[in-house]
Each structure stands twice: as C-alpha cells, then as structure tokens.
Amino acid sequence: MASEYVTFSDLRTAAYCPRKLYYRRTHEDDPDPPSRVDAIRDLERRYEELLAAPAGTLADEPIAVPSVDYRETLAATRERLADEGEWDRLRDPRDRNRLVTGRDCRGVVHKVLADPIEPVLVSSGAPPDRGVWESQSVQAVAAAKALAWEHEQPVERAWLEYPAYGVVRSVSTTVRRTARYRRALRTVRELDGPPPRTTNRSKCESCEYAGECGVRTRTLRSLLGFGRS
C-alpha cells in the first residue's frame, strides 16, 4: 500500500464489495463528490430552518421524500433526540469536517461531538428500514477507533445522519461490529488482484464497474419478462 493507513472510504467499500474496491484502485481518477452530495450534507446544518419553513418551500430542497413526510420525520427525530439529551450536541458539534488519524486508519469525520467524544458521519444516501448499512457501520467503527486513538480514551458510539430523509441513528461499537471492521481492514491490506464476485447481485445494479467486472445485472427488459425463451 502507498500508505500505512487505510482510509475510511476504502474500508466502507471493502465491507460493501471487495471487488469494487479492487476496480476503484485500478482507476487513477478520484473524482470529487458531486455538488448534490454537498447540498444534501448541508441540510444537516439547517434542520431548524427546514422545520420552521412553510412546507411548500421544501420542494426546492434536495430532500428525498415528500415535504410533509420529511417534516414529520425530522420533527420526530428532533423530539426523540431532545428527550435523550442528544439534539443540542448534534446541532452544535465540537468540530466539523476534521481529518482524524488512528493507529490503523484515517479519514474525515463530518462532525465530532463533545462530552463524550463521538464521531458523526453524514450520508447523502438513504437509510435502511432499521439501523444503518453494514458498510457504513464499518466506517463508523473506524471513525470511532481513530478518535479514540487520538484522544487516548474509549469511544463507544458513533452517529449516522441521513439529511435527505431527516433520519439520525446511533451505532454502538459492539464486539460484532468491531469484528466486521477488523475483517474489512484485513481485506483492504491483503487485496492483491480481483477478489471473487459478490453473490449479492443487487449490489451490482448501480455499480459503475459492473461492465468491467463482467456480471449480468437485471435490466428493465428482463424485469418485465421480455427476452425470455
């Protein structure tokens, strides 16, 4: 590896699909995040403004659900986190967009909370029905480990925010999640040549390397039943 540190993004990709990480490494281009990603992440700073705004004005915002549903979800999120004493901490973090470096990995933490120290990752995508995606939990554990290393104290929880949906969830650094993080770390460090293709072909549908990888994805034509013998 070019560096002794594994990046958070490599860990997340390895947890999602090691073969995708291999192809990403073979391409030298590393495009900047699209402007829409930045716009979605910026919603996180404006939750109170979005809750106070007339519902009709939210149509111009990069939210992923109808305006009424968005406001209801975000209001419920605020109420739940306020009852838990977490809302103000999440709204007024100790630091933002900070590069953190641990013993094994490094990457950007979108927010660092104080008392106790906890990392927050802001996702531009959709949350699962419950919890967080496994690849994101690996990244969250990596962020917690890096902060713990820097501050020389345990970090037992991380947060995932999905601003386009008004959803905020926490992730505990359990033994099982830490084991997944260690497994992803080992995968990144030992990556040498293309790993086997994933058996979960749903991951291939939106993968930019699907053609190069050689997997067959289900096209709209096949989903509608055309082309079958």
- What pLDDT sits at residue 217? 55
Q: Where are the domains of the chain?
A: 6-196
Longest Cα–Cα distance in the chain? 63
Question: Residue 98's pLDDT band (boundaries 50, 70, 90)?
Answer: very high
Is pLDDT above 70 for 219? no
β-pair type (118-122, 157-162): parallel
**pLDDT score of 8 more than 60:** yes
Domain covering 6-196 in this structure, CATH number: 3.90.320.10
> What pLDDT was estimated at residue 111?
98
Question: pTM of whole model > 0.75?
Answer: yes
Does pLDDT of 21 surpass 60? yes
Rounded CA separation 212/164 (Å): 31
Rounded percentage of the chain residues whose pLDDT exceeds 70:
90
Distance CA 149, CA 43 (A): 30
Say what the pLDDT of residue 223 is: 43
Average pLDDT along the chain: 89
CA distance 138 to 9: 10
Which runs of E-coded beta strand occur in 79-166?
Answer: 95-101, 105-113, 118-122, 157-162
Rg (CA), the chain: 19
Distance, in Å, from the CA atom of 121 to the CA atom of 147, rounded to the nearest integer, reads 13
Reply yes or no on whether the pLDDT at 228 is more than 50. no
Compare 32 and 224 and report the one with higher pLDDT. 32
Confidence of residue 229 (pLDDT cuts 50, 70, 90): very low
At 116-155, the pLDDT tens digits run 999 999 999 999 999 999 999 999 999 999 999 999 999 9
Q: Closest Cα partner for 156 from 141, 167, 168, 169?
A: 141
Contacts for 75-84: CB closer than 8 Å, 24+ residues apart: 75/51, 77/166, 77/167, 77/168, 78/47, 78/51, 81/168
- Residue 97 to residues 159, 168, 178, 218, Cα–Cα distance (Å): 14, 18, 23, 38
